[in-house]
Each structure stands twice: as C-alpha cells, then as structure tokens.
Structure 1
C-alpha cells in the first residue's frame, strides 16, 4: 500500500519524519507500559511476600533447568 496516496499534502521527507516520530513515540509508550507493569508487580509482591518467595524459587529453578539443558 502506498501511504503517500493517503496524505493530501507534504513531502516524502515530512512523511518519513512523521513516521520516525511515531515510531519513537510508540517505543516510548511501550517502555512506559513495561515500567508500569513492573511497578504493579512490585506492589503485588510487597503485599504478598510468600508469593514473592515462590516466584523467586520457581524462577531460579527455571534458570537452573535452562542452564542444564544447554
């Protein structure tokens, strides 16, 4: 699909600049969502220390298994 046909005016350079800006904005939004997800998980774990220990134990077991299967 030729996106330029969808745009009434503007040069190819302006279109490329807009796409780069959009890509940077999407990337930044994704990073913010990951930060938010991490913060929410930290809050959950702070209120459930037994769950945090179980997650840590299972994570270490998973890492050990992955390292041994190489």
Structure 2
C-alpha cells in the first residue's frame, strides 16, 4: 500500500475524481481517504511513480507520506 499527501484534496468531489482516475487504469485498486489529513492510501498493481503521475494529471499533485 502506498500513502500520498494530497494537499489540494479537500472534498467529496476531489475524492470521486481521484477514484475515477485510478479506477480507469487499475479497476482492482483499493483506496482509503482521509480528507481531514488530506491523504490517500492506495493498494494497486501500479507503482508509486505511476500513481503519483495519475494524481498529478488529474490536478492533484502529491508527495509520498511517511
């Protein structure tokens, strides 16, 4: 599982946009959101760089959370 800090994610619309973008590439991915902390945990067959690229293309630049 990969955890990303997504500072621009703040609402249900953001969550839905991220889910749709990841699902389009990996329909088996599992996402868990913490909107208050602005983080998303993603379990996917994609690697961290691929996931970060999808988030960035969707308009949600991110960094890896520790």
Looking at secondary structure, tell me which structure has more strand per residue.
2
> Shorter-normalised TM-score: what interval?
under 0.3
Looking at secondary structure, tell me which structure has more helix per residue.
1
TM-score (norm 1): 0.24
